[in-house]
Structure 1
Amino acid sequence: MTKYNTLTILLLTLSLSFMSSCKKDFLNKGPLDQYSDENVWKDPALINRFVADIYSNLITTYDYVGSYNSINQGMLPADITDEGKSNYSGSNADLINQGQYNASSNLFSSFWSLPSAGGFHQNGAYENIRKCNTFFSHLPDMPIDETIKKQLTAEVKFLRAYNYQLLYSIFGRFPIIDKVLTITDDLNIPRGTDEACRAFILNDLDAAAEALPLSYSNRNDLGRITKGAALGMKCRLLLNAKDYLGASAAAKAIIELNTYRLFPDYAGIFFPENDDNEEVIFNKEYGSSQSGQTHTLDLYLNSSFFTGFYSPEDVPTQNMVDQYLMKDGLTWEQSALFDAEKPYDNRDPRLQASIIYDGTTWRGQVIDMQLGSDFNPATTIPSVTGYMFRKFLNPKYVFSGNNLNYQNCVVLRLAEIYLNYAECQLKLGNSEEARKYVNLLRIRAKMPEIQPGHMTWETYVRERTVELAFEGERRADIRRWEMGPALLGGTIYGMGIETINGKRQYTRQVVEKRVFHPKMYYFPVPLAELQKYPAGKVLEQNPGW
């Protein structure tokens, strides 16, 4: 699919059949900041452009990647869990994993507020929230059809909820701002309670879900928010709050929409030619050179053999490789299929779809991960774990010229909803109902089904780990499961590879020993934000920080 008819183009034109005053050349106009505030809210085209800007600034997993990006903090989300390791020494991921940070480190400060000068085009969450509130402040007088007004209102409510949910996942409680603040307002707003923060997000998501359609008939609408997306984010929020009844109901509501299907090819879910496939509930659309919605995923995660410069930036761990079962459904320690000389043979096919390991084939090349090889050269920055990421990467990416074939970032897909529902059912004592939905994923992966009476918590955790590997929810899962000491503070392993007497020898190696304290489930509110509050109106810090 050619990625010019993306969400941004949709919202800039928003269909002539909806709004006869729209023109076809909006993308050729200057940026919004070249128009006066008064003009923006009198012009339906500019109103839609304003909403498009909020969409384009949503922060996703792909926006972490690339050293020029002011929001990436030098790491993927996977790097601060047992899934991954930053391959660049001295990154913020190293700081986090060694517990050598505090509020003055200002970690994730750009998520909270505006990006630093000269940084990436992405806005922080509160800048996007301000834009949402600005939209609502002008809503009564907008010169647009009521049907369109209702649609855009629901979308902007979702967008505001998405940004608050991002803040909540990183910092916990946040200051709730539901209007445009002026100099006459008290700007020193305290953080809300957990209950108030969740309620605010849920109210926006419920309102969006009620007004949004199940789907759109026009392919130009790809990427627009749907009822399923609003219900899905609600399900995620309630699950992380351990509201198993509420999360279960939200998950079941999505399943009963009968709108989504598991994509038959697990690896292909993330390829650009399969963007917006039937499993995707919500994604961020990339690929328009005019919108500026691009990412550097393929440049920073591939071997320098392909990219021509120092990479990869982030790498998977042996800890993650160990989570992939053998094809007989047993662990590598238990299975007779495991061969120490060929440790990657006869594994769950999702391993090959997700991780580049020694001897696998990628982009037409048999990959040699031995240190000093063409694919893992010691003269650049070799993989510290003996692995590289494969999931999300575009096997047809062109590393020269103006390549606009950017794959979308899948934020939410049906597999997660199945797993959320299964977790709720396990917690509610309905293990056979949980087994049914976990087995749907096993069948898609061509793995043995879990037999009646064998659906355990440990089985579920492993299945969720491999199915959703590197997709950005691992840290929230670990926090919810209260497994921080083992999975955030444990030992990280890699694989040492040698050729001895013509045979490969694989040796597990300690790469890093991490530390964890319960306060680290949430990050400290950046000192830069605390210092904005005057004496007597201090912004409350997270416990332990």
Structure 2
Amino acid sequence: MKTFLRSISMITVVSGALLTSCKKEFLNTTPLNQASSATTWADPNLSQAFVTELYNGLYEGELNQENLDCQTDNALYNFGKENINEGNISPANTGNVPHTYEWGNMYARIRSANIALEQLAKSPIDKSLADKLTGEALFMRAYYYNQLLRYYGGIPLVKSSYSASATDFTIARSSYSDCVDFIVGDLDKASTLLQGKSQDKGRATSDAALALKARVLLYAASDLHDMPTAKAKSTLISQFAHPELLGYVDGDRAARWQKAQDAAKAVMALGKYGFKLDLSAPDANGFTNYQNSYLSRNGGEAELLFARYFANAKDEWGAWYARNNCTNGYHGWTSSEPTQNMVDDYEMMDGTKFDWTKPEEAAAPYQNRDPRFYASVLYDGAPWKPRTPDGAGIDPYNEIQMGTYQTGSAGSAVTYFGLDTRNGPIENWNGTRTGYAIRKFMDPNPAIVDNNTRQEVPSPMIRYTEVVFNYIETCLALGQEGEAKTWLNRIRFRSGMPAITDAGDALVQRYRNERNVEMMFEEQRFYDARRWMIAPQTLGNKAKIMKITGTLKAGKTVSVYRYNTDNYNYTYTVQELDPGVENRSWNDKVYFPPIYRDEMNKNNKLIQNPGYTN
């Protein structure tokens, strides 16, 4: 120890001598692994690299292992309860907050956008490039602010980067209406600056700015953000002392709906987006159409206004979507699983609502359903990819097995647990709890082996069909039912479904169901159920699951199981999820999740959302 201390002392003395004898310039050096601010913003490539980094705040987009739909009645997360579903969140325990909504992550990106905007305003690089980068920075700042706005309500609007010399880093939350105006202002400027600029895939465009504006304004016109309406529907909101943080306390709501409609129409008028939305009758290729739309292939690329792309060569979490979410019988993790609640929302092929009280439908619940069901959900008996070698001999037919069946002969049958169940013979720790797995966004190419191969399906951050739905909703709000049905039926025709003829509230309900079915796992349901203020009747429902049994018919003998109604009698039993896994209930405080306690402690000007105490 003495030798060690002597060595440290000697180093200190020598270092001090060297520093004393050196010139001042020795310390005035540029780090070899960093570019200075002046160098960055004088160099077009470095400037572009800085702005490109802003997109990293998108993370995996919607292709997460734990999809946001797991915090709705649409889905369940397999590996731990969602506290928000049980109303157990608080400032100290916010539960799972996806990266793209987390307060600190978003403000870090907003700060970077502010730096870019300040530096580009005085950069000597080519003006056309500076304008394009400025437009991108404005778009990304608006995007991240809207992520915060739709999650928390009004948030602090930080319009410039803080300098080290600043004496006060605290800032109050702006009103909801001011936030909307600021975001829309950024998007208008971004759209102008990006007009006519060519862009690589995945980067902001003028059209994407218009589409995001349509989303922002639709939310602004909705029930949850119209305070007279919200107060009438929620006692908690009516008692909140700062309703201006949650929505509009005055003004003309009809005018807000009109602004939202105008914004959606501006995107539709571009005439270069959308996939097969010009049909006048149901398309027989509804399954393929829907699959192409979410895979963004074979014409489906026209659906994308803004997307997060993945490359097989790059190890990113969104590229592992198939492994994270396919069934355990394929060595997947079955992480985000559709619930029976979601499956029941898919209509029959003739457009009628599925009905468990009808014996013929209850006996064969997966027959004659909306084609989007088959393109979106892996259910018992669904055809899928070739099994991996350890499963090929057990299931040579490549069909999903979600039930418990008999094999052998009817007189001396043995129990066989399906490959894709929690008792499956390949893996049993990661099987489905609901009786379903997600198929949507899975690359159906057999060469993409789910357990060890990345895929290149993009995450649609804003797609054209959402804009059309937004337009339909404004038509309904403004009493334009004929126009609403025209566009709603175009979406249905593409998927092979018949026209809707409803009117009044029945039409509103059909629209809401249609939006949920079409946009499943695209982060719409979380916000739609809130802004329509139907969460107590939907998000508050107990999660329902499916239990399936296959019993051999008399005289039948089966050595290798396969779904076959000639050999088996099938029983489908809807149950509530075990409350020990997740016991869902609704609490109005969950309309606006809490701001994390540490953020509240750092900024004494912040006001917490209703229903929470620090």
TM-score greater than 0.5 by the shorter chain: yes
Aligned partner of 2:324 among 290, 297, 300: 300
Asked whether the 8 Å contact 2:60–2:316 carries over to 1, the reply is: no
Q: CA deviation at 1:34?
A: 3.4
With structure 1 as the length reference, what TM-score do the two structures score? 0.83
The aligned counterpart of 1:368 is 401
| Structure 2 spans left out of the alignment, 5+ residues | 1-30, 222-255, 277-287, 387-397, 405-416, 553-567
Counterpart-to-counterpart distance in 2, 1:478 and 1:485: 9
Indicate the SS of the match to 1:278: helix
The aligned counterpart of 2:231 is none
1:462 aligns with 2:513: yes
Distance 1:496 1:421, change over 3 A: same
Distance 1:113 1:519, change over 3 A: closer
Asked whether the 8 Å contact 2:154–2:174 carries over to 1, the reply is: yes
The aligned counterpart of 1:329 is 351
The aligned counterpart of 2:69 is 78
Counterpart-to-counterpart distance in 1, 2:534 and 2:346: 19
Asked whether the 8 Å contact 1:496–1:507 carries over to 2, the reply is: yes
Asked whether the 8 Å contact 1:222–1:276 carries over to 2, the reply is: no
The aligned counterpart of 1:380 is 429
1:96-150 Cα offsets, whole Å, 9 max, x none, are 11112211014438556688xxxxxxxx111111110110121133232111111
Aligned partner of 1:100 among 77, 88, 107: 88
Distance 1:209 1:302, change over 3 A: same
Counterpart-to-counterpart distance in 2, 1:32 and 1:520: 48
Counterpart-to-counterpart distance in 1, 2:315 and 2:131: 25
Counterpart-to-counterpart distance in 2, 1:469 and 1:413: 13
Counterpart-to-counterpart distance in 2, 1:253 and 1:222: 22
Distance 1:414 1:63, change over 3 A: closer
Counterpart-to-counterpart distance in 2, 1:262 and 1:112: 30
Counterpart-to-counterpart distance in 2, 1:157 and 1:479: 27
Asked whether the 8 Å contact 1:338–1:345 carries over to 2, the reply is: no
Distance 1:155 1:103, change over 3 A: same
| Structure 1 spans left out of the alignment, 5+ residues | 1-30, 66-74, 116-123
1:414-442 Cα offsets, whole Å, 9 max, x none, are 11111111111111111001001001101
The aligned counterpart of 1:4 is none
Indicate the SS of the match to 1:277: helix
Indicate the SS of the match to 2:322: helix
1:522 aligns with 2:588: no
Distance 1:478 1:161, change over 3 A: same
1:194 aligns with 2:176: yes
AA matched with 1:333: D
Counterpart-to-counterpart distance in 2, 1:286 and 1:32: 31
Asked whether the 8 Å contact 1:60–1:411 carries over to 2, the reply is: no
Distance 1:539 1:394, change over 3 A: same
Indicate the SS of the match to 2:171: coil
Q: CA deviation at 1:211?
A: 2.5
The aligned counterpart of 1:285 is 309
The aligned counterpart of 1:58 is 58
1:445 aligns with 2:458: no
Aligned partner of 1:180 among 158, 161, 174: 161
Counterpart-to-counterpart distance in 2, 1:464 and 1:401: 31
The aligned counterpart of 2:442 is 393
Which one is further off, 514-523 or 394-403? 394-403
Aligned partner of 1:488 among 516, 539, 562: 539
The aligned counterpart of 2:569 is 503
AA matched with 1:38: A
Counterpart-to-counterpart distance in 1, 2:49 and 2:315: 10
AA matched with 1:254: V
AA matched with 2:531: R
Indicate the SS of the match to 1:222: coil
Q: How many residues align?
A: 487
Distance 1:358 1:250, change over 3 A: same
Q: CA deviation at 1:446?
A: 0.8
Q: CA deviation at 1:363?
A: 1.7
Asked whether the 8 Å contact 1:76–1:314 carries over to 2, the reply is: yes
Distance 1:330 1:401, change over 3 A: closer
The aligned counterpart of 1:426 is 476
The aligned counterpart of 2:191 is 209
Q: CA deviation at 1:166?
A: 0.6
Indicate the SS of the match to 1:540: coil
The aligned counterpart of 2:39 is 39
1:266 aligns with 2:290: yes
Q: CA deviation at 1:215?
A: 7.6
Q: CA deviation at 1:87?
A: 1.0
Asked whether the 8 Å contact 1:81–1:488 carries over to 2, the reply is: yes
AA matched with 1:267: Q
Distance 1:290 1:497, change over 3 A: closer
Q: CA deviation at 1:452?
A: 7.4
The aligned counterpart of 1:68 is none
Indicate the SS of the match to 1:417: helix
- RMSD over aligned Cα, in angstroms? 2.6
Which one is further off, 381-390 or 276-285? 276-285
The equivalences for 1:240-255 within 5 A come to: 240-242=219-221, 243-255=256-268
Asked whether the 8 Å contact 1:276–1:283 carries over to 2, the reply is: no
Counterpart-to-counterpart distance in 2, 1:236 and 1:192: 20
1:39-85 Cα offsets, whole Å, 9 max, x none, are 222221111111111123324543632xxxxxxxxx32101111101
Q: CA deviation at 1:229?
A: 0.9
Distance 1:523 1:248, change over 3 A: same
Asked whether the 8 Å contact 1:275–1:407 carries over to 2, the reply is: no
Counterpart-to-counterpart distance in 2, 1:368 and 1:403: 22
Distance 1:462 1:140, change over 3 A: closer
Distance 1:191 1:59, change over 3 A: farther
Distance 1:334 1:289, change over 3 A: closer
Asked whether the 8 Å contact 1:158–1:208 carries over to 2, the reply is: yes
AA matched with 1:508: V
The aligned counterpart of 1:25 is none
